């Protein structure tokens, strides 16, 4: 009888050990259940010091639109003078600049709308961030945070503090409140906010039903549940906190491994996932937009800023307009130059040198160039295709600033996915990445195969999706007065979920070895009901999971739960629950565990599967095994999970991306169906069935 290297109890779970042993005895195979990853994430009980820090961060982010209601922090913020403690900063210039800007009244006032896409506002935010990031120790960081809390714009404060907490060593493992609870206005419709105010005036607890934008007359309404999902919005905004386009890697001393490639792959996967949802709702694949064409579908956000009016709407068939600093012709020229670089497989750097794109790392350079990040080889020549695209769409209805309209949804990462034009913009950009990938040769036989390893069978539980209700706490959306106490008011929205499921992968190997396991899902038929060839299907394949497993000589059954996916993270704890758990731990009533690699970035686990159809919808499932020892990058245990959402969100804390394969391998390059399928690449049909409720 085989075993899982002596860890059958771990891999099958203590409660199921007899079942595990019986299975091994009957089948004569090693049953390796990878659920132990949940146990081995490095979680440990938090000490009092960490708990106190966590509590202070939560207090700082409480009702940020109001003066700090916590007297200890407010008093500290008023009394602390950073200029008297400059030696406590690794780089004192930012905090000196911040104090000077504040005292001279040059900062964005509190109550004004902050957007990262405004150069002046972003530079101010970076000064705030660097003042926090360069603090020598926790005490200086905390005092600086209290100092800026009530002095700077609340939007700049939240973003700067969040990015600092995510990147400082002494705040590793801290959990930030859900973005949709810190700034509910960005995530819920204005009708909900108005109803919430009425309920508060009556001092009555309430749950206000929130509908998606549009009507049944708008076909895009059918997939609004995806773009307007608060989990998607939160994932997108946190990705751009983990990988800010303004991040100075050398100056900050924190490398962003494969940031450009992650920019490409995460957004590519968002588009592919929308395309599968569109097929599930009898809609064709999303079409790219073009700078000189009309934008066919308009968008009415139905959301309002806390101060500053409603988000601008865009009518149907609107055209891109020149802005003061961004011209439509320039966007056409930037695209032409990028296409030339791709066709020549070489980028011209700002120093006039040629940087090759003809290898597996070319996509990382191209991603940095298209966004662009600080790593762009030549932003003056190739422009800022992605960032300028967001700005052009955000200001399309008031390009001259004639009506002083507030920023559009595309000018905030928290709200951008609500607009169907977001996906059309990224389809346009993704086609440039596709052009580059198509220039590379298809994978050779030796790059695809895993000698001595064969997948014998793959089974999976029934795949069932359904809609459910979800409540969003609106506490931070409403103003406080001495006369009106807080009451429980929530927005209730429908959202997609799925039943938990488990993959069972039967593998035969000629020796014991470590295997990298990749699981993908793609459409079987297109909008017209025609079966999609593999070389076209690869463009719409979504990643479900990627992990490492030990396979023994002979047969091994690898089991993997949907809840363990490397793509996704579970629902975020509400702020109230998080505060209560921290307080209970501080009082010794309970244990609070901390994971130093905790991730806020991650696709919602409940959206791992596309919706499917009521009578069942066929999809193509792919499982690929490769030799992990040949692609391993970090000197860490093979089952280290980097916080759990590496596929779209990469790594933090200085780690490199854990494998050297291109993201999306082996579907990122053109496929010759006669040469593609090997014994280590398995395909089967699966069916996803949608039910109205569970």
Q: Would you say residue 8 has pLDDT above 50?
A: no
Residues 683 and 550 in one domain: yes
Residues 397 and 427 in one domain: yes
Could you read off the pLDDT of 128-180 as tens digits, one per residue? 999 999 999 999 999 999 999 999 999 999 999 999 999 999 999 999 999 99
Q: Does residue 28 form part of some domain? A: no
Average pLDDT across the chain, whole number: 92
Q: Does residue 314 form part of some domain? A: yes
Cα separation, 67 vs 19, whole angstroms: 58
Q: Would you say residue 12 has pLDDT above 70?
A: no
Which residues does residue 561 pair with via DSSP β-bridges, in sequence order? 502
Cα separation, 257 vs 652, whole angstroms: 9
> What CATH number does residue 450 fall under?
2.60.40.1520
Residues 246 and 312 in one domain: yes
User: 372: cis peptide before it, omega within 30°?
Assistant: yes
pTM of the entire predicted model: 0.93
Residues 472 and 370 in one domain: no
Q: Does residue 585 form part of some domain? A: no
Residues 490 and 504 in one domain: no
Q: Does residue 453 form part of some domain? A: yes
Residues 357 and 395 in one domain: yes
Question: Is-contact 70 64, C-beta < 8 A?
Answer: no
More confident residue, 267 or 474: 267
Cα separation, 341 vs 335, whole angstroms: 10
Q: Does residue 304 form part of some domain? A: yes
Q: Which of 238-242, 459-463, 487-491, 519-523 has the weakest average pLDDT? A: 487-491
**Phi, psi for 461 (deg, rounded to 5):** -60, 170
Residues 528 and 559 in one domain: yes
Residue 684's pLDDT band (boundaries 50, 70, 90)?
A: very high
Residues 230 and 296 in one domain: yes
Residues 485 and 550 in one domain: no
Number of domains in the chain: 4
Known catalytic residues are 371
Residues 225 and 335 in one domain: yes
Could you read off the pLDDT of 49-98 as tens digits, one per residue? 999 999 999 999 999 999 999 999 999 999 999 999 999 999 999 999 99
Could you read off the pLDDT of 507-518 as tens digits, one per residue? 999 999 999 999
Q: Would you say residue 122 has pLDDT above 50?
A: yes
Q: Given the structure tokens 């440039």, which residue do they identify?
A: 432
Cα separation, 294 vs 287, whole angstroms: 12
Domain span at residue 420? 220-439
pLDDT score of 482? 62
Could you read off the pLDDT of 453-504 as tens digits, one per residue? 999 999 999 999 999 999 998 888 777 766 677 788 899 999 999 999 999 9
Residue 43's pLDDT band (boundaries 50, 70, 90)?
A: confident
Could you read off the pLDDT of 377-398 as tens digits, one per residue? 999 999 999 999 999 999 999 9
Residue 196's pLDDT band (boundaries 50, 70, 90)?
A: confident
Q: Does residue 387 form part of some domain? A: yes
Q: Would you say residue 634 has pLDDT above 50?
A: yes
Residues 102 and 241 in one domain: no
Quick check: helix, strand or coil at residue 450?
coil
Q: Does residue 307 form part of some domain? A: yes
The token duo for 392 is 């052009």
Cα separation, 656 vs 212, whole angstroms: 39
The arithmetic mean of pLDDT across residues 265-276, rounded, is: 98
Plot region of 418 (φ>0 → left; ψ -120 to 50 → alpha; else → beta): alpha
Residues 197 and 230 in one domain: no
Its sign, for the CA torsion 647, 652, 658, 661, is positive
pLDDT score of 476? 82
The token duo for 637 is 């245990």
């Amino acid at each position: 009888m085989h075993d899982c290297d002596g860890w059958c109890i771990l891999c099958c779970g203590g409660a199921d050990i007899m079942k595990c042993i019986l299975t091994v005895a009957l089948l004569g195979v090693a049953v390796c259940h990878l659920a132990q990853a949940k146990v081995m994430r490095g979680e440990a009980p938090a000490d009092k010091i960490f708990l106190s820090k966590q509590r202070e961060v939560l207090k700082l982010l409480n009702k940020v639109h109001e003066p700090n209601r916590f007297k200890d922090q407010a008093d500290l913020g008023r009394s602390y003078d950073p200029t008297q403690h400059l030696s406590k900063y690794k780089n004192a210039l930012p905090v000196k600049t911040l104090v000077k800007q504040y005292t001279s009244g040059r900062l964005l006032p509190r109550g004004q709308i902050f957007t990262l896409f405004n150069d002046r506002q972003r530079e101010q935010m970076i000064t705030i961030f660097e003042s926090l990031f360069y603090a020598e120790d926790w005490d200086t960081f905390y005092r600086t945070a209290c100092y800026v809390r009530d002095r700077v714009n609340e939007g700049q404060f939240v973003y700067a503090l969040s990015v600092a907490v995510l990147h400082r060593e002494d705040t590793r493992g801290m959990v930030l409140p859900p973005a949709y609870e810190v700034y509910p206005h960005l995530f819920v419709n204005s009708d909900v906010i108005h109803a919430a105010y009425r309920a508060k005036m009556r001092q009555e607890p309430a749950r206000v039903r929130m509908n998606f934008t549009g009507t049944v007359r708008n076909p895009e309404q059918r997939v609004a549940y995806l773009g307007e999902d608060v989990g998607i919005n939160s994932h997108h905004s946190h990705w751009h906190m983990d990988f800010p386009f303004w991040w100075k890697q050398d100056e900050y001393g924190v490398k962003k491994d494969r940031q450009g490639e992650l920019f490409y792959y995460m957004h590519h996967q968002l588009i592919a996932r929308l395309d599968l949802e569109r097929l599930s709702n009898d809609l064709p694949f999303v079409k790219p937009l073009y700078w000189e064409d009309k934008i066919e579908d308009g968008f009415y956000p139905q959301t309002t800023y806390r101060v500053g009016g409603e988000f601008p709407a865009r009518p149907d068939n609107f055209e891109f307009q020149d802005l003061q600093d961004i011209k439509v012709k320039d966007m056409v020229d930037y695209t032409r130059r990028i296409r030339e670089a791709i066709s020549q497989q070489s980028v011209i750097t700002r120093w006039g040198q040629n940087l090759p794109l003809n290898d597996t790392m070319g996509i990382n350079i191209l991603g940095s160039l298209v966004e662009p990040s600080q790593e762009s080889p030549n932003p003056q020549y190739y422009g800022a295709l992605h960032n300028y695209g967001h700005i052009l769409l955000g200001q399309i209805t008031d390009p001259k600033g004639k009506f002083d309209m507030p920023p559009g949804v595309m000018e905030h990462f928290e709200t951008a996915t609500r607009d169907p034009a977001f996906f059309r913009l990224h389809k346009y950009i993704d086609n440039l990445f596709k052009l580059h990938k198509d220039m590379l040769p298809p994978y050779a036989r030796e790059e695809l195969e895993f000698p001595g390893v064969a997948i014998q069978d793959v089974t999976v539980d029934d795949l069932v999706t359904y809609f459910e209700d979800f409540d969003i706490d609106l506490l931070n959306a409403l103003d406080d007065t001495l006369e009106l106490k807080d009451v429980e008011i929530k927005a209730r929205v429908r959202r997609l979920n799925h039943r938990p499921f488990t993959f069972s992968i039967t593998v035969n190997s000629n020796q014991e070895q470590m295997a990298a396991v990749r699981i993908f899902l793609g459409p079987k038929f297109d909008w017209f009901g025609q079966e999609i060839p593999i070389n076209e299907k690869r463009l719409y394949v979504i990643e479900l999971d990627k992990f490492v497993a030990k396979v023994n000589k002979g047969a091994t059954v690898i089991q993997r739960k949907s809840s363990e996916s490397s793509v996704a993270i579970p629902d975020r704890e509400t702020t109230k629950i998080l505060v209560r758990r921290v307080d209970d731990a501080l009082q010794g009533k309970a244990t609070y565990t901390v994971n130093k690699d905790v991730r806020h970035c991650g696709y919602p686990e409940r959206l791992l599967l596309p919706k499917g159809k009521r009578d069942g919808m066929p999809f193509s499932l792919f499982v690929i095994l490769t030799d992990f020892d040949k692609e391993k990058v970090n000197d860490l245990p093979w089952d280290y999970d980097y916080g759990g959402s590496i596929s779209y969100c990469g790594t933090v804390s200085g780690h490199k991306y854990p494998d050297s394969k291109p993201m999306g391998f082996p579907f990122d390059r053109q496929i010759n169906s006669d040469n593609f399928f090997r014994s280590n690449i398995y395909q089967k049909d699966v069916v996803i069935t949608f039910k109205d409720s569970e």
